[in-house]
Amino acid sequence: MKQRMPLLITILLLGYAFLYGPIISLIVYSFNESRLVTVWGGFSTKWYAELMQNSQLLGAAWLSVRVAALTATIAVVLGTLAALALVRFRRFRGRGSLEVMVTAPLVMPEVIIGLSLLLLFVAMETTIGWPAGRGMTTIVIAHTTFAMAYVTVVVQSRLAHMDMSLEEAALDLGARPLKVFFTITLPIIAPALVAGWLLAFTLSLDDLVVASFVSGPGATTLPMVVYSSIRLGVSPEINALATIIVAIVSVAVLITGLLLWRQEKRKTERLP
Amino acid sequence: MSLKSTLPTARHLIIAVPWFWLALFFLLPFLFVLKISLSEPVLAQPPYFDLIREIEDGFVTIVLNFSNYQLLLEDSLYFKALLGSLKIAGISTLCCLLIGYPMAYAIARSPAHWRLPLLMLIILPFWTSFLIRIYAWIGILKGNGLLNGVLLWLGIIDSPLEILHTPVAVYIGVVYNYLPFVVLPLYATLIRLDTTLLEAAADLGCRPWKQFMLITLPLSLPGVFAGAMLVFIPVMGEFVIPDLLGGPDTLMLGKLMWTEFFSNKDWPLASSLAALLLVALIVPFVLLRHFERRAEEAAT
Amino acid sequence: MASLRQFKPEESWQAPEGEPIVRIENVTKRFGTFYAVDDISLQIHQGEFFSLLGASGCGKTTLLRMLAGFETPTSGRLFIDGQDVTDVPPYARPVNMMFQSYALFPHMNVADNIAFGLKQERMPKAERRERVAEMLSLVQIEALASRKPHQLSGGQRQRVALARALARHPKILLLDEPLGALDKKLREQTQFELVNIQERLGITFIVVTHDQEEAMTMSSRIALMHEGRIEQVDPPRRLYEFPSTRYAASFIGSVNLFDGYVLQQDDDQVLVQCDDAETRLLVRHSQPLVPGMAVTVALRPEKMRVLGQLDADTPNQLRGRIKEIAYLGDVSIYHVELPGGKRVQFTQSNVQALAEQPLTWDEEVVLGWSANSCGVLTE
């Protein structure tokens, strides 16, 4: 085992270089005075300043954040229900179809999800008059539909690893089922709910294809703006935006990682 | 069990709410795709004729229009796009496995306290924007981009390489964006592998390479196939990567569908392309479910 | 095996007057085609320390879970303190359970875990605090009140689980393998404590265990279960000395079984012809038996004595050759081969430390025992 360690370390180093090289290049060039990628024109923060003045981009970002927050919240509720159904109820009518319907969106190409939902919304509008026009509501519905599948997977694995006798103990001690759910089950699966929420938020914030299909004239999300400016050519403002996103994500991940690590350490220390 | 026996109404609600949401917003829309794919395009809003038309005296007729599917069969463009999707999805899945397997293996064999940070480093780029990650590669791969700059400076090449807007760029983009999808399931299967099996094999005279080929690899196959399908299926319909990194000759179903829908405003044709893509994905999807179930069984 | 309870040698357990605290009437639990519990009827009385003993899969846990309300019987009724609880949900039953995994709520500290059940019955805060303190001192973990479960050792967790289940003063405490997760030393010590607490509080304990020694030491009565049915219900001593079936005899302790048939019976003694031992055995047995009936004679290994020679005063004697000796410290186990090839086991205490091995391999011995030392099994 020992003599293979250098090989494994090399593989990991190469792999991480591949993953992080492009992101690092974005960060570096976001501080480049020059518009050209190959030319280093000196350190500058002017692209950040321009980004802050781009009202179209900022407006789209605000819409995206609102859509993502709403999506994540609904997806956590629906995904948790689906996970509860799949883990706790062994047999019920529609189990097979529910299983398929929560797995399929994980791999379903976005173009299909986007187009099919658009056709549904158009048909619904002509028959029942809702949703009237397309915009934030339709984007939230569409995003929730694929994001809840991810939440289900995350919550499902946490529920499956939860000791069932914890709930039984609470029932035995006189708590009614609803109370058991809120005082025992929910706090224990809370980390999975948080992880699921963040995942759904990111997926929604990141989505270009589905939003392009189901959004209307007034609702342009951040990825739609980014996409059209990328199509026009390399724009250093996008570098600045990328750097900000990477910074936010790294800080968030670092904090959760640190918390997880400390929790893990506390646990192992106390064990006999 | 506790919730089941004591709260029958809650049980129904817990099942029904997500079921109906998905049935309405995930399953039902496919029927509309099928329906619109059988209608005729028209310059209107929405840009198609309804299948069900009411004639003046109250008779209802259903007009089915198979010309879209006929076009898919007759025009070789669409067949080429299907082949292109299969080829790009297949090759990039293979590349993902070739890069992802050693990485997952290395993480699973690293000291226990290193595994969580190493895994988080795999997932971290996934949390940054997908579009921006592709955009980063445009900056690297284009004619006067970073890669050519470095290679020219090193003197390895004399003139810039044409990588952007070629299939190679698409492969790079797919592997870069889908790598976590193979590393994570592979890691999950490899970490569950009982290491005493390897010790037993060693004890019975197996050298490390043979241990890997005879024990580790066969036992990790469910993870390999599950990871492969997690890449293959979405890449078949991928739009953003071929659109931004590929060239005009990069034919893929997802991109073609986008063009028919947004540029040509031909909703019925786009729908029939979606139906074609769906049919192409049924087999890999069934395989995915099969291997995920097997990986689960292997774990318990 | 030592009992922690002080029973006089001949005293056996007598059902007290009045309504039993638990009445199980013809209860069956079926999972698909598998009968986990098969038509069991049982009565448990106030203040008992009752054990459900059996191998895994015998249905003991299912029976306990039906008492707690986590499983509903397929048929039959369950009564607790005279009330039919068959369809009462777990949260409304006057019983509490100590789980095998302890099931301590990981997000609450020790005091909150113990207070959980009290909060459900809306006990006033002051009283609740008092009760929690009382419970903490009962199981001697006052110092741990603010710890989280993951900061406790296995033995401490067990105590918290016990305190939490007792806090509501249930009529019955159900314990699922209460000592299963502890190591041997701690287990022995905790057995004493459980019995002490039970006697102090006077609460009926119903314990599920697969460990016969644990059941023997703690219980007032044991129900031995096998394949969803009850083999025998008796106090530990009766269960050991007078097993009623072959399964009961061989499940608890070691036993030598001789198959044979009844030759004759006078008063309370039966003469059994045992072909595999090539002899006739005289056994005390008061129930009437029919001559010619197939029976089994059960004999515990420690009931035999080594006789110098054949001895007219000892009714039952066997001659054989020692084939195996296992030295266990306190006793030695000998395997003796009878002339017909059958092997019997007997044990002898090692009384003296430096004595030469009194018996050795291939030595011929004569073993004898009285008619009172063995029993007749008809099943």
In a domain, A245, yes or no: no
Specify the range with the lowest mean pLDDT, choosing from A92-96, B124-128, B223-227, C241-245. B124-128
pLDDT of residue C98: 95
Residues of B whose CB is below 8 A from C71: 1
Contact C67, C22 (CB under 8 A): yes
B46, closest residue in chain A (CA to CA): A122
| Interface residue B21 vs chain A (CB under 8 A) | yes
Task: Report if residue A206 sits inside a domain.
Answer: yes
- Local mean pLDDT, 10-residue blocks, chain B (300 residues): 55 92 93 86 70 62 75 85 93 95 92 87 85 89 84 85 90 94 92 84 84 88 90 92 89 91 88 89 86 73
Query: What pLDDT, on the 0 to 100 scale, is given for residue B175?
Result: 94
Amino acid at B31: L
Residue C101, chain A, CB below 8 Å: the answer is yes
Tokens of B186: 């592979």
Instruction: Give chain B's end-to-end CA distance (angstroms, integer).
Output: 20
If you search the block for the tokens 């209608």, which residue do you land on?
B39
User: Which tokens go with A126?
Assistant: 């002509």
Per residue, the 3-state secondary structure of chain A, as one string, reads: CHHHHHHHHHHHHHHHHHHHHHHHHHHHHHCECCCCCCCCCCECCHHHHHHHHCHHHHHHHHHHHHHHHHHHHHHHHHHHHHHHHHHHCCCCCCHHHHHHHHHHHHHCCHHHHHHHHHHHHHHHHHHHCCCCCCCHHHHHHHHHHHHHHHHHHHHHHHHHCCCHHHHHHHHHCCCCHHHHHHHHHHHHHHHHHHHHHHHHHHHHHHCCHHHHHHCCCCCCCHHHHHHHHHHCCCCHHHHHHHHHHHHHHHHHHHHHHHHHHHHHHHHHHHCC
Q: How far is A88 from chain C (nearest CA, A)?
A: 14
**Judged by CB atoms within 8 Å, which residues 78-117 of B form the interface with A?**
99, 102-103, 105-107, 109-110, 116-117
Residue type, B230: L
pLDDT of B56 reads: 59
How confident is the model over C341-352, as pLDDT tens digits?
899 999 988 877
CATH code for the domain in which residue A183 is found: 1.10.3720.10
Q: In what order do the strands lie in the sheet with C34-44?
A: C34-44, C22-31, C75-80, C83-84
Lowest mean pLDDT among A156-165, A215-224, C308-317: C308-317
For the purposes of burial, counting CB atoms within 10 Å of the CB of B214, is it exposed (0-12), middle (13-18) or buried (19 or more)?
A: middle
Q: Report yes or no on A172 lying in a domain.
A: yes
Q: Which residues of C touch A166 (CB under 8 A)?
A: 103, 105-106
The DSSP call for residue B47 is S
Q: Domains plus CATH for chain C?
A: 22-248 (3.40.50.300), 254-377 (2.40.50.140)
Residues 234-263 of B with CB under 8 A from A: 234, 236-240, 244, 254, 257-258, 261-262
Closest Cα in chain C, distance from residue A266 (Å): 9
In a domain, A4, yes or no: no
> Which of chain B's residues have a Cβ under 8 Å away from the Cβ of C31?
none
Looking at residue A235, its amino acid is S
How many domains, in total, are found in chain A?
1
CATH number attached to the domain at B69-299: 1.10.3720.10
pLDDT for residue C318 is more than 80:
yes
A228 part of a folded domain: no
Cα B26 from Cα A108, distance rounded (Å): 10
- By percentage, how much of chain C surpasses pLDDT 70? 95
| B-C C-beta contacts closer than 8 Å | 9
Cα–Cα distance between C322 and C319 in angstroms, integer? 10
pLDDT greater at residue A262 or residue A208 = A208
**Do residues B224 and B101 lie in contact, with contact meaning Cβ atoms separated by under 8 Å?**
yes
Query: Residue B237 and residue A110: Cβ atoms within 8 Å?
Result: yes
Residue for token digits 């923060």? Answer: A45
d(CA A18, CA C154): 47
Angle between helix B267-299 and helix A110-128 axes, rounded to 10 deg: 120
φ, ψ of residue A234 in degrees (nearest 5) = -70, 130
Q: Which of C66, C70, C93 to mutate to test the interface with B (most CBs of B within 10 A)?
A: C70
Round to whole Å and give the CA distance between B137 and A24.
Answer: 11
Q: What is the extent of the structural domain holding A127?
A: 59-222
3-state helix, strand, coil in chain C (%, to 5): 25, 35, 40
- Say if the Cβ atoms of C103 and A169 lie within 8 Å: yes
Task: Please check whether residue C97 touches A, CB under 8 A.
Answer: yes
Alpha carbons within 13 angstroms on the beta-carbon side of residue B116 total: 14
Quick one: B60 exposed, middle or buried, by C-beta within 10 A (0-12, 13-18, 19+)?
exposed
Greatest alpha-carbon pair distance for chain A in Å reads 71
Tell me how long chain B is.
300
Q: Is the pLDDT of residue A210 over 70?
A: yes
Q: Which amino acid is at A254?
A: L
Residue C117 and residue A180: Cα distance in Å, rounded? 11
CB contact under 8 A, B6 and C90: yes
pLDDT tens figures, C155-183: 999 999 999 999 999 999 999 999 988 88
Q: Are B25 and A117 within 8 A, CB to CB?
A: yes
**A interface mutation test: which of C31, C61, C67, C70 has the most A CBs within 10 A?**
C70
